[in-house]
Amino acid sequence: MKILSVTPLAIPAVKAIRFARFGDDRGWFAEPYRQSDIRQAAALPEMAGATALQANESVSRKNVVRGLHFQWNPYMGKLVRTLSGRMVDLALDIRPNSPTLGKAILHDMPARLEENWDEWIWVPPGFAHGNLFPEDTRIEYLCTGEYSPGNEAGICPFADDIDWTLADPALRAMLDACRAGGAIISEKDRNGLRLEQWLARPEADMFKL
């Protein structure tokens, strides 16, 4: 895995990780993940002890919104990338003593099949995670914890107490337009918690820095 760059986003704990593709007249080859390279990357010290324990893949139709999901016992960080289509990734800071608590960001991740690089987004524990899909899309994500029923929760991505001031305005407008136009969202996610409801629960303190 040849890591080209690690870019902290508007909330620095969330990072975009670009890695190389190697092309010729036949097409290209890429090594999307190598644990030793991730662990040794100087710009990813928080991943030095991380191990991908579970790989997930999903396909979503145009105008699907998923999230905002998170887990404890065990904690779950996620490396997420777009295989085909276009994903806009959502990350909401739920760390109670964080200076960006309650703020959410959006990161645009269309599939770039003609580029000589591809990109992961790293969403660490302490963030509620979701996605918006402006077109039919297939994604993959690697998780640092295995799924643990009963130790998860979700905040509705349309909750009125999420602070979007750090989010890219154009991507925020896209999310708002999707909602107004009839976003496809599960009942579980639509009926997710408000941020203040989650922070009132004792489990919220487990995500303190």
CATH number, residue 76: 2.60.120.10
In a domain, 127, yes or no: yes
In a domain, 91, yes or no: yes
pLDDT given at position 50: 86
Number of domains in the chain: 1
From first to last of the 209 residues of the chain, give the pLDDT tens digit: 999 999 999 999 999 999 999 999 999 999 999 999 998 888 888 888 888 999 999 999 999 999 999 999 999 999 999 999 999 999 999 999 999 999 999 999 999 989 999 999 999 999 999 999 999 999 999 999 999 999 999 999 999 999 999 999 999 999 999 999 999 999 999 999 999 999 999 999 999 98
Identify the domain containing residue 65 by its residue range: 3-203
In a domain, 191, yes or no: yes
Cα–Cα nearest to 106, from 153, 170, 60, 150: 170
What span, in angstroms and rounded, lies between the C-alpha atoms of 115 and 160?
Answer: 38
Would you state the structure tokens that stand for residue 56, as one six-digit string?
């997930």
pLDDT given at position 13: 95
Whether the bond between 68 and the residue before it is cis, its omega within 30 degrees of 0, is: yes
In a domain, 209, yes or no: no
Q: What are phi and psi of 50, to 5 degrees?
A: -85, 145
What span, in angstroms and rounded, lies between the C-alpha atoms of 163 and 46?
Answer: 25
Q: Are 77 and 127 in contact (CB under 8 A)?
A: no
In a domain, 155, yes or no: yes
In a domain, 52, yes or no: yes
In a domain, 208, yes or no: no
Q: Are 70 and 154 in contact (CB under 8 A)?
A: yes
In a domain, 92, yes or no: yes
- Residues with a catalytic annotation lie at 69, 141
